[in-house]
Amino acid sequence: MAPLEDTDFEAWEVDLHGHRAVYRAAGSGPPVVLIHGMVNSSRHWREVALRLADRYTVIAPDLIGHGDSATPRGDYSLGAHAAAIRDLLVAIGVGPATVVGHSLGGGVAMQYFWQFPERVERLALVSSGGLGPEVSPMLRGAALPGASTAIRAATSERMLSWLSRIAAGLDRRGSDKGTYVHAVARAMRPLGSRGGRRAFVQTLRSVIDVHGQRVSAVDRLYLLGPVPTLVVWGERDNTIPIAHGLAAVEAIPDSRFESLPGAAHFPHLEDPEGLAAVLADFIAGTRPHSIDEAEWAELIAARSVRRRHLRAA
């Protein structure tokens, strides 16, 4: 692979339905779309993207309400995020692609597949949401009423400066946790604005409540059968249990599971080299497959109960 410093990860802006949509891109070749998770942005995919860019065109969008994209009042559901990604990719001329999603982005990636199966050639889920109810207490707490006030305090300049000093201290001691703290500080900065906080809370509450994850893809995982699917998890993940990934692989025919021993919930930050290698091997070792309408109908029919007429009482 080419040296990382020789490859750019440039930011581009698109006017999408009157709102600013930002994405980053690198490389050339078949398209790979990287979808970030909560309190993340396209920037956090940099080290993975640059390791894939010598073989693929890598596109990493900022979800609406995240990163450098606009924070309009509106719909922040998984379906809305998926539709916005479809419209962005159409606007920049990207068709069927390998789609990779991390955490919340995994839920968005699956929703993107349910809505636009003909546009997904492969699917990779990295420490993905939507595969079981369990999630860390911190995220459940962030879904409670009044969370915006706590988030505002946590994203003050004083708090962000403190986090940056903590990260620098960890770097000096040679701790790999410095990378994680730097990423958290960078990700939290956009939440300092009212629009950013609103978008974060609305997105979070669309998938999580006080009891855990309230949106599940488990009942539809069988639809992924014909599409090459990879599930990757950090072995030290305390945010979403690795058991979710193992169970998902059991439910998805011919899928593949990989774990990264040195990673927790953010493999793209904690072990970008390992994650990029797993993704590159998966893409190179599988044939792209896009489901058309006829095949989609067959998949649905195979699991559907014969319909019957309900007579009025």
Do 9 and 61 meet the contact criterion of CB atoms below 8 Å apart?
no
Distances (CA, A) of 184 to 179, 181, 226: 9, 5, 37
Q: Which of 102, 182, 265, 268 is catalytic?
A: 265
What Rg, from alpha-carbon coordinates, does the chain have? Answer: 19
Question: Helices 104-115 & 194-207, crossing angle to 10 degrees?
Answer: 70
Question: What is the spatial distance between Cα 308 and Cα 106, in angstroms, rounded to a whole number?
Answer: 35
CA angle 243, 270, 262 (to 5 degrees): 55
Do 36 and 23 meet the contact criterion of CB atoms below 8 Å apart?
no
Q: Which of 41, 66, 127, 237 is catalytic?
A: 237
Q: In the annotation, is 103 catalytic? A: yes
Q: In the annotation, is 237 catalytic? A: yes
How far is C-alpha 24 from the chain's CA centre?
15
Handedness of CA 172, 176, 55, 39 (dihedral sign): negative
Q: Which of 41, 103, 255, 259 is catalytic?
A: 103
Residue in the block written with tokens 């779309």? 33
Q: In the annotation, is 128 catalytic? A: no
User: Annotated catalytic sites, by residue?
Assistant: 103, 237, 265
